[in-house]
Each structure stands twice: as structure tokens, then as C-alpha cells.
């Protein structure tokens, strides 16, 4: 055996008797015994593969290698299965899993849905929490349902697409419990409160402020820690504070929550602190009471500012209604009792224009007021010129007959409108840019009144330009100061009278366009403003535009400050008594006109 003999090479044998041979032989046997297991894995020389023992060793080595290889492959597959992530399920697949399993399995699916960040899931989850989500048993489709004939109409809960009709027994409601509802609320918060869109986060914070649910505290704290925008952070902290006031919080958190709510300072904050006061601990009551006192003081200041805004809004309406009357009364000396009907005609012109746009060009509805303004001005101006040429020009110098004639004309116009359009109120819509309201440092301002204030100031500025910078305005001022002298200088006073009456009536028509956005459009619309218009003209000064502006704003603000204490009717009575007493002292009003004829 060459392989074994090589273990004791001849060159290393000692030259002594038989002992060394015996020792060497035993040494060889030990070495062979140690190497026997390895013979299965070591290929022997080619010349020694003929023995039976060698053949058995070779077959055992192949089987061992196969078993080892199979084990290695199996372990590798198990490791890869554990290490590699599972295929991400789509939102549609997760939604279809909602009806499966028990409440805990559904809560797990809801958590996975929240991790997708798909905001389409918000209505679906809200319906699930409300117990209004259903599944079609035959297909597994998750749907909303509504009654439709003998069955129900189904709508895909995720896409919102109609999916036809099925029998009422073919759908089953997905059941929920309180634990699942909490999971759904958390998921909705994650989809909205942790949304990448700031508007969505703000809306979620406002909703949580209204809910005031202590279960939302962990999610709110997580969102507050991640929020970067100050205005969204403020909303989240307010939602956190109102939830803390309803939870078993520490004294530090409770005090911080009271400070946050008190800093909000509106009526909702006052209601929250008033509700929290009875259940508060004795050591926290002084803090809450101090917050309530601070909010009440701020609200008193806001009430003053709100009343000022209401007064400015009313004053702008009075300005639009009275400024045309100030011109005609100042230039012509005519007490026009039909002036309110010019306002009413302007409002009905707006109604007609909007009806035409609704039926012929609905895409122009947001521009309906811009189209109605020149139309109302032209219609009412033409009506005013016709009244002046047909009736009033025969009654100059006879104020009582003029008053009775214009009062009769007002009744005729009212009845004509009532016959044409009916006695009921007519709907005039608000364009999108005049709908809604906004908050200005705690003062609520509606868009329609805001634009009316700007419009009234624009009309005032345009009329001031006409009076100061045009030939017609120069002639009107000349006739107002001294009619005879103006006539002797070649000014055609009858033409000036007609144009003045037409201009005043046209401005009243513009007032009707504005009033159609805040008042009922009916045949009696103008009657509510004619008396107030005369009071504004008399108080401010006949024929003086600046006096009309100051008088309208003053009476509007005073009236709104008196209404909370005396009521709307008594407030107007007090204003009327004040004007009577005022004109006893200043018969020509705040800003009296100068001129020989006027002073005479």
C-alpha cells in the first residue's frame, strides 16, 4: 500500500533490531484507523479502485453529497423566503380583504390600507366606521348601496363607479365593533392628518378639533412632532388641547391645553372651557376661569369690530340707494317717491339676465352680474328719463304735486312688475366669487357684502369724477347752485334735468343689482330703502356727494350699534328722531351747498 508506506519513509528508519519495525507497524495501524472515515471522501489512486470496500465507500460518498446538497438548497430557500419582502398588495386587493376574517383581521387590513396613503380610502373607511359598507357575496366587491326598485343599486366603494343593480339579499353588510372603529379612526387620521398635502392635514386637524376624541391623542402627538408649517401646527395643537381636556391628562398637559384654547379666543373656545370647568380639578379652575375671562374680553372687542363692519355694509347699501336721489333732489328739487322702484327695476333686470344666461349660456353665470350692471343702468336710466319728460317736467316748482305724482308712479310700477313677474320672491343666484365668507382677525366677513362695499365706493368715485371732470357734471353743479344764472349763460336746463334724472335713476338700478345679492327680489324691494335714502340725503346735505357718503356710513353704523339693545324697529325710530333734532340745528345738513340761489 504505497499510500500507507509513505507514512514511514525508508530514509527515516533507524538502523536497529526488530523493535523499531514493531513500533512502526503499530504506528501505521493507528494512522490507518484515524484515516478510515476520510477514505469515503478522498478519492484513492486509480489502481486501487478494484476492491469491494473501495466501491462501497464511493457510493456512500455520493449519497452523502446529495443529502448535503439537498439540505443546503432547502435551508437557502427558507432563508430567502424569510429575508425577501412579500409582494406588495394593491389597494384594490386590500379592500377586497375587508370582509374576510374577524374583527382583528379587518383591523389589520385597515392598518395596511392606511399605510398606502391613498386618500380615496377616506370615504370608504368613514362608511365602514358608520356600518354602511357592504360586500357583494357573489363577487366579493366592496360597495355602497342605495335602494333602487326591488333591489339595490351598487357603487364601487373605492372608485365611485356605478356597478349596476343586484338583489337586496345578494349583498351583506360588513360588520364592525368598537375596536375596529378605533382602528378606522386611526387610519383616517393617518390618511389625512399625516398627508403630504397641507390642506388635507389642516382639514383633518379641524375635524379632530370638532370630534374632541381622546383616542386621537397619540396620532395628534405624532403629527405635531412632524409638522413644519406654523398655521397647520396651530390647528393640530388646538385639536390636541381639546382632546386633552376630555382625557385623564397630567396637570402640566391640562394647563397647556387651557392656554392653547384660551389663545384661540373665539366662541367655540369659550364653549369648550365652560364645558370643562365643572369637571376640572380644584387647582385647575382658576386657570380655566382666567382663560374664560380673557376670551370674553376679546369677544367684546370683536363684537365692536363686527358691528362696525355691519354698519359699513349697511352704509354702503344706503349709499348706493341714496346717491342717485341726492343728485336729483339737489339739482331739480324733486322729491322722487318712485326712486325705490328704480332700485327694484335694477334687481329684476338682474333676474332676467341670469335667467337668459342659465338657459342659453350657463358657463357665463359667474359673469352674470358684470353683464347685468350695464343692462340695469340703461334700463333704469331710460325709465327715469321717460318719467322726467312725461310727468315731472310739468310739475317743477310744485313740490306737493310732484310728491303725489311720483308716489302714484311708484304704485303703477309695482303693480306692473307684480303682473309681469308675479308677487312671489324671485331667486337671484350668487356667483362663485361672491359666495362664502372669510375670517378677518376674528371678524366674519361675507364675500357678497365685501364686494358690495367695494362696488359702492367705486360708484361713488365714478360719480365724483363725472361731477368734477365732465361737461355734464359742470352743468349739473351750475344748475344746482343757480338755475336762472345757468340758463342765462346758455345751459339747457331742461336737458340737464333729464340727464340728471336719468343718471340718478341709473345709479339706483346699479343699487338694485347689488341688493339682489343680499335681499329678496320682490315688487316691494324698493319700499324698504326709500325712507332711509331720504334720511341720508337730508342728514348729509342736499346735492353734496361727500355729505351723502358720510351720512350713509354714519347712519349705518349708528343703526347697527343700536339694534342689539333696542331692536331693528326702535333703532330706526331713534335714528329718525336724531335726524329731526339735527336738522333743527343744521337745516342744510352736514355739508351745505354754497351758491346764491341755494343760500337764498
Nearest in space to 276 (alpha carbons), one of 260, 292, 264, 265: 292
Residue 278, phi then psi, degrees to nearest 5: -60, -35
Render pLDDT for 84-107 as a digit per residue (tens, 0 to 9).
Answer: 444 457 888 888 888 888 888 888
Does any domain span residue 288? Answer: no
Domain match, 573 and 462 both: yes
Contacting residues for 501 by C-beta, under 8 A, at least 6 apart? 328, 332, 334, 336, 384, 385, 387, 388, 392
Q: What is the per-residue pLDDT for 26?
A: 53
Domain match, 207 and 333 both: no
Q: What is the per-residue pLDDT for 49?
A: 45
pLDDT confidence band for 29 (50 / 70 / 90): low
Q: What is the per-residue pLDDT for 122?
A: 82
Render pLDDT for 333-342 as a digit per residue (tens, 0 to 9).
Answer: 788 888 899 9
Contacting residues for 585 by C-beta, under 8 A, at least 6 apart? none
pLDDT confidence band for 375 (50 / 70 / 90): very high
Please answer whether residues 262 and 273 qualify as being in contact, where contact means their C-beta atoms are separated by less than 8 angstroms: yes
Q: What is the per-residue pLDDT for 384?
A: 92
Domain match, 221 and 154 both: no
Nearest in space to 125 (alpha carbons), one of 171, 176, 185: 185
How many residues are recorded in the chain?
Answer: 600
Domain match, 405 and 551 both: yes
Does any domain span residue 76? Answer: no
Domain match, 205 and 172 both: no
Does any domain span residue 298? Answer: no
Q: What is the per-residue pLDDT for 352?
A: 94
Please answer whether residues 198 and 227 qualify as being in contact, where contact means their C-beta atoms are separated by less than 8 angstroms: no
Contacting residues for 371 by C-beta, under 8 A, at least 6 apart? 353, 357, 364
Residue 146, phi then psi, degrees to nearest 5: -150, 150
Q: What is the per-residue pLDDT for 41?
A: 41
Domain match, 22 and 155 both: no
Work out the mean pLDDT of the chain and round it to a whole number: 81
CATH number at residue 580: 1.10.3470
Render pLDDT for 303-313 as a digit per residue (tens, 0 to 9).
Answer: 888 889 999 99
Within 10 angstroms of residue 134's Cβ, the number of other Cβ atoms is 21
Q: What is the per-residue pLDDT for 347?
A: 93
Domain match, 310 and 432 both: yes
Within 10 angstroms of residue 399's Cβ, the number of other Cβ atoms is 12
The more confident residue out of 465 and 54 is 465
Render pLDDT for 516-574 as a digit per residue (tens, 0 to 9).
Answer: 988 889 998 888 888 888 888 888 887 678 888 999 999 889 888 888 777 778 888 88
Within 10 angstroms of residue 162's Cβ, the number of other Cβ atoms is 11
Render pLDDT for 443-457 as a digit per residue (tens, 0 to 9).
Answer: 889 998 999 999 999
Q: What is the per-residue pLDDT for 184?
A: 85
Residue 158 has pLDDT above 90, yes or no: no
Number of domains in the chain: 4
Contacting residues for 31 by C-beta, under 8 A, at least 6 apart? 4, 7
**DSSP string of 117-145, one letter each residue:** T-TTHHHHHHHHHTT--EEETTT--EEEE
Domain match, 307 and 251 both: no
Residue 51 has pLDDT above 80, yes or no: no
Q: What is the per-residue pLDDT for 6?
A: 44
Residue 173 has pLDDT above 60, yes or no: yes
Render pLDDT for 564-576 as a digit per residue (tens, 0 to 9).
Answer: 777 778 888 888 8
CA 325 to chain centre: 41
Domain match, 331 and 454 both: yes
The residue-averaged pLDDT of 21-41 equals 48
The residue-averaged pLDDT of 176-188 equals 83
Domain match, 200 and 330 both: no
CA 118 to chain centre: 21
The residue-averaged pLDDT of 15-19 equals 46
Does any domain span residue 13? Answer: yes
pLDDT confidence band for 60 (50 / 70 / 90): low
Q: What is the per-residue pLDDT for 587?
A: 80
Tell me which residue has cell 378639533.
209
The residue-averaged pLDDT of 314-323 equals 89
Render pLDDT for 402-412 as a digit per residue (tens, 0 to 9).
Answer: 888 999 999 99
- Structural domain range at position 109: 91-179
Burial of 311 (0-12, 13-18, 19+ CB in 10 A): buried
pLDDT confidence band for 354 (50 / 70 / 90): very high
Within 10 angstroms of residue 34's Cβ, the number of other Cβ atoms is 9
426: three-class secondary structure by DSSP: strand
Does any domain span residue 70? Answer: no
pTM value > 0.85: no
HEC assignment per residue over 245-282: CCCCCCHHHHHHHHHHHHHHCCHHHHHHHHHHCCCCCC
d(CA 585, CA 597): 21
The residue-averaged pLDDT of 272-277 equals 88
Q: What is the per-residue pLDDT for 443?
A: 86
Residue 585 has pLDDT above 60, yes or no: yes
Domain match, 263 and 354 both: no
Does any domain span residue 85? Answer: no
Nearest in space to 40 (alpha carbons), one of 20, 60, 65: 60
Residue 79 has pLDDT above 70, yes or no: no
Domain match, 228 and 361 both: no
The residue-averaged pLDDT of 166-171 equals 86
Render pLDDT for 409-429 as a digit per residue (tens, 0 to 9).
Answer: 999 999 999 999 988 888 888
Does any domain span residue 418? Answer: yes
pLDDT confidence band for 55 (50 / 70 / 90): very low
Point out the domain boundary residue: 254, 283, 312.
Answer: 283
d(CA 219, CA 213): 11
pLDDT confidence band for 70 (50 / 70 / 90): low
Does any domain span residue 61? Answer: no
Sign of the C-alpha dihedral computed for residues 385, 391, 396 and 401 taken in this order = negative
Q: What is the per-residue pLDDT for 71?
A: 62
Amino acid at each position: 500500500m504505497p499510500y500507507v508506506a509513505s507514512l514511514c519513509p525508508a530514509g527515516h528508519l533507524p538502523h536497529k533490531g526488530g523493535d523499531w519495525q514493531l513500533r512502526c507497524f503499530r504506528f501505521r495501524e493507528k494512522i490507518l484507523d484515524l484515516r478510515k472515515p476520510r477514505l469515503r471522501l478522498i478519492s484513492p489512486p486509480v489502481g486501487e479502485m478494484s476492491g469491494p470496500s473501495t466501491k462501497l465507500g464511493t457510493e456512500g460518498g455520493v449519497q452523502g453529497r446529495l443529502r448535503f446538497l439537498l439540505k443546503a438548497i432547502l435551508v437557502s430557500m427558507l432563508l430567502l423566503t424569510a429575508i425577501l419582502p412579500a409582494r406588495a398588495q394593491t389597494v384594490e386587493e386590500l379592500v377586497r380583504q375587508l370582509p374576510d376574517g374577524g374583527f382583528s383581521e379587518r383591523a389589520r387590513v385597515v392598518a395596511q390600507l392606511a399605510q398606502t396613503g391613498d386618500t380615496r380610502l377616506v370615504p370608504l373607511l368613514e362608511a365602514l366606521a358608520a356600518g354602511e359598507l357592504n360586500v357583494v357575496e357573489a363577487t366579493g366587491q366592496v360597495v355602497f348601496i342605495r335602494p333602487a326598485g326591488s333591489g339595490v343599486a351598487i357603487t364601487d366603494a373605492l372608485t365611485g363607479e356605478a356597478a349596476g343593480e343586484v338583489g337586496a339579499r345578494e349583498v351583506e353588510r360588513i360588520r364592525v365593533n368598537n375596536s375596529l372603529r378605533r382602528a378606522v379612526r386611526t387610519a383616517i387620521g393617518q390618511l389625512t392628518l399625516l398627508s403630504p398635502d397641507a390642506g388635507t392635514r389642516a382639514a383633518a386637524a379641524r375635524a379632530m378639533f370638532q370630534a374632541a376624541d381622546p383616542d386621537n391623542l397619540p396620532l395628534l402627538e405624532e403629527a405635531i412632532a412632524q409638522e413644519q408649517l406654523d398655521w397647520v401646527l396651530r390647528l393640530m395643537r388646538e385639536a390636541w388641547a381639546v382632546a386633552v381636556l376630555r382625557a385623564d391628562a397630567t396637570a402640566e398637559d391640562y394647563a397647556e391645553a387651557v392656554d392653547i384654547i384660551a389663545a384661540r379666543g373665539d366662541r367655540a373656545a369659550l364653549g369648550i372651557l365652560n364645558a370643562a370647568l365643572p369637571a376640572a380639578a380644584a387647582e385647575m379652575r382658576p386657570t380655566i376661569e382666567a382663560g374664560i375671562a380673557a376670551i370674553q374680553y376679546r369677544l367684546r372687542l370683536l363684537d365692536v369690530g363686527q358691528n362696525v363692519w355691519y354698519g359699513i355694509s349697511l352704509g354702503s347699501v344706503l349709499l348706493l340707494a341714496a346717491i342717485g336721489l341726492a343728485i336729483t333732489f339737489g339739482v331739480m328739487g324733486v322729491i322722487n317717491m318712485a326712486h325705490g322702484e328704480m332700485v327694484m327695476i335694477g334687481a329684476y333686470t338682474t333676474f332676467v339676465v341670469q335667467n337668459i344666461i342659465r338657459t342659453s349660456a350657463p358657463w357665463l353665470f359667474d359673469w352674470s352680474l358684470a353683464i347685468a350692471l350695464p343692462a340695469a343702468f340703461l334700463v333704469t336710466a331710460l325709465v327715469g328719463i321717460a318719467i322726467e319728460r312725461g310727468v315731472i317736467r310739468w310739475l317743477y316748482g310744485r313740490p306737493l304735486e310732484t310728491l303725489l305724482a311720483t308716489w302714484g308712479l311708484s304704485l303703477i310700477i309695482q303693480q306692473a312688475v307684480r303682473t309681469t313677474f308675479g308677487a312671489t320672491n324671485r331667486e337671484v343666484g350668487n356667483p362663485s366669487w361672491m359666495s362664502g365668507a372669510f375670517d378677518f382677525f376674528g371678524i366674519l366677513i361675507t364675500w357678497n357684502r365685501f364686494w358690495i362695499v367695494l362696488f359702492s365706493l367705486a360708484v361713488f368715485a365714478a360719480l365724483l369724477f363725472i361731477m368734477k371732470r365732465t361737461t355734464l357734471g359742470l352743468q349739473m353743479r351750475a344748475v344746482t347752485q343757480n338755475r336762472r344764472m345757468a340758463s342765462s349763460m346758455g345751459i339747457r336746463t331742461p336737458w340737464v334735468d333729464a340727464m340728471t334724472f336719468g343718471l340718478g335713476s341709473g345709479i339706483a338700478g346699479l343699487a338694485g343689482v347689488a341688493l339682489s345679492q343680499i335681499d329678496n327680489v320682490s315688487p316691494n324691494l324698493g319700499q324698504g330703502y326709500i325712507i332711509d335714502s331720504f334720511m341720508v340725503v337730508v342728514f348729509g346735505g342736499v346735492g353734496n356727494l361727500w355729505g351723502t357718503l358720510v351720512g350713509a356710513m354714519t347712519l349705518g353704523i349708528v343703526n347697527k350699534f343700536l339694534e342689539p339693545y333696542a331692536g331693528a324697529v326702535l333703532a330706526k325710530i331713534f335714528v329718525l328722531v336724531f335726524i329731526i333734532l339735527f336738522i333743527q340745528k343744521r337745516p342744510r345738513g352736514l355739508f351745505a351747498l354754497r351758491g346764491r340761489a341755494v343760500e337764498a
